[in-house]
Amino acid sequence: MPYTHTQDTLVGLFVATGIASLFFLGLQVSNLSSLSHGDTYEITARFSNSGGLKVKSSVSAAGVKIGNVKAITFDPKTYESVVKMDIDAQYKTLPDDSSASVYTAGLLGEQYVSLDGGGSSEFLKNGSKIEITNSALVLEKALGQFLFKSAEEKKAAPVDDKKGKK
């Protein structure tokens, strides 16, 4: 094929579309745009059970994402799960008596850490520890407790009936 300028243009268009689709994959499809490359500060919370929480799970306050889980380790002395979180530096006015809870998004969704603000006038800083934590809800445990409770109520119910008759 002889060399033409149309070929130049076509190759240029091809390369441009290829790179554009790469950008599309990066920005529209994956989480590249939502990654905050800004400053973060680290806080730690201890849970008696962190459930299905994973590294990179989100940390939110009032439903808005403010950071990520950085590391999850097991403390062999206290038998607790130590969760380190990176919080975006723009959210630096979280009270230091905030509580952290592990919740599930939807019934079968991913687990995330939710921070609920307290009333203190001191704020969380880099390296702060959250004292008040609520563990993840383990579905089997909750179901077990529910079944146990309803069985007890059934046992207790006839006694109540007799009392009523007297």
Partner 1 sequence: MEFFRYLGASTRASFTKLGRASYFLIEILSGLASVIVRPRLLLKQLHSVGVLSFLIIVISGLFVGMVLGLQGFYILSRFGAEETLGVMVAASLVRELGPVVAALLFAGRAGSALTAEIGLMKATEQLSGMEMMAIDPIKRIISPRFLAGFLSMPLLASLFSAVGIIGGQLVGSGLLGVDDGAYWSQMQATLDFKDDIINGIIKSVVFGFVTSWIALFEGYDAIPTAEGVSRATTRTVVNSAFSILGLDFILTALMFGEH
Give the nearer residue to partner 1 in terms of CB position, either 35 or 156. Answer: 35
> Which amino acid does the sequence have at 49?
N
Question: Is 139 an interacting residue with respect to partner 1 (CB under 8 A)?
Answer: no
Residue 34: closest CA among 58, 51, 11? 58
Contact range with partner 1 by CB under 8 A, out of 26-34, 81-89, 123-131, 155-163: 26-34
Under the criterion CB under 8 A, does residue 31 sit at the interface with partner 1? yes
Q: Rule CB under 8 A: is residue 24 a binding residue for partner 1?
A: yes
* DSSP line for 24-77: HIIIIISTTTT---S-EEEEEEEES--TT--TT-EEEETTEEEEEEEEEEEETT
Residues 33-72 that bind partner 1 (CB under 8 A): 33-35, 56
Rule CB under 8 A: is residue 11 a binding residue for partner 1? yes
Tokens for 47?
């849970």
Side chain identity at residue 163, one-letter code:
K
> CA-to-CA distance for 93 and 159, rounded, in angstroms?
55
Q: Decide: is 30 part of the binding site for partner 1 (CB under 8 A).
A: yes
DSSP annotation of 3 reads -
Choice between 33 and 93, CB closer to partner 1: 33
**Which residues form the interface with partner 1 (CB under 8 A)?**
1, 3, 7-8, 10-11, 13-15, 17-19, 21-22, 24-26, 28-35, 56
